[in-house]
């Protein structure tokens, strides 16, 4: 089972692409280390206050893949540096 999620964040305190990328890379690296997911920024690469991140988890069961994605999303949402705008999930 493959679970795919997209989440969009706004980084209000960012005043440059350098500040945005510092927050983004820190969270992407930590998420990859803590959870069995692949993570990448997929949109708004040249916008300094927004980002859209994709997460993918592949597992033998839908329940375990969804649980891993949900834990990763909760971890990303817990960062006080940004605010979640929307989440979208799909099951393949």
Tens-digit pLDDT profile for residues 63-87: 999 999 999 999 999 999 999 999 9
Domain range summary for the chain, segments of one domain joined by + = 2-91
| CATH entry 3.30.70.1120 includes domain 2-91 | yes
The tens digit of pLDDT for each residue in 11-69 reads 998 899 999 999 999 999 999 999 999 999 999 989 989 999 999 999 999 999 999 99
Cα 14 to the center of its chain, rounded Å: 17
In the structure encoding, which two tokens stand for residue 55, read together?
């997460």
Helix, strand, coil percentages in the chain from 3-state DSSP, rounded to 5: 35, 35, 25
Return d(Cα 78, Cα 81) in angstroms, integer. Answer: 9
């Amino acid at each position: 089972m493959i679970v795919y999620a997209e989440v969009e964040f706004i980084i209000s305190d960012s005043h440059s692409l350098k500040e945005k990328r510092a927050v983004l890379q820190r969270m992407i690296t930590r998420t990859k280390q803590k959870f069995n997911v692949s993570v990448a920024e997929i949109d708004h690469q040249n916008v300094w206050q927004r980002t859209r991140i994709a997460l993918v988890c592949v597992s033998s069961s839908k329940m375990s893949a969804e649980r891993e994605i949900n834990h990763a999303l909760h971890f990303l949402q817990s960062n006080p540096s940004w605010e979640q705008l929307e989440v979208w999930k799909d099951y393949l």
